[in-house]
Amino acid sequence: MEIIPALLPHLTGLRLEAVVVRGVGVRIDAATQTVQAQCGTCSTWSTTVHGRYVRRLADVRLGGHEVLVALTVRRFTCVNSECGRRTFVEQVPGLTRRHARHTVVAAGDLEAVAVALGGRPDSRLGSGWPCRSPARR
């Protein structure tokens, strides 16, 4: 398991439980190791765990294999009585964002591709469509 942090440094700090290779995919089962988490609304730290669940995050490809991180995260209870949020899920800096289905690294790669392409593929694909013809502009 020592090779995973070398190849995927954004997974450092997690407890790696299993790495399963099936066909063209790799699934990495991991869990967080922190003792406390910070509420995203009021920034209060909490150690009261409300529950756990598994987040499935698409990660960057590794050697031609699709990588899925099955990350067990905890839901904490916000201890601030004035906060409108009762529970919140811990976020792993550099790995997760709220409601995201990709890791931060994979999302950054997708954004870089989108910026590099910059609309040109749309103009080439759309040039033959009737609504894009020069006569209709």
Number of domains observed in the structure of the chain? 1
Contact 27, 35 (CB under 8 A): no
Burial 48-59 (b: 16+ CB within 10 A, else e): eeeeeeebebbb
User: In which domain, by residue range, is 24 found?
Assistant: 3-136
Q: What is the pTM of this model?
A: 0.71
Q: What is the pLDDT along the chain (137 residues), one digit of tens a residue?
A: 567 667 778 888 888 899 888 888 889 999 998 899 999 899 999 999 999 999 998 887 777 888 889 999 999 999 999 998 899 999 888 888 888 888 887 777 777 777 777 755 555 544 444 444 444 44
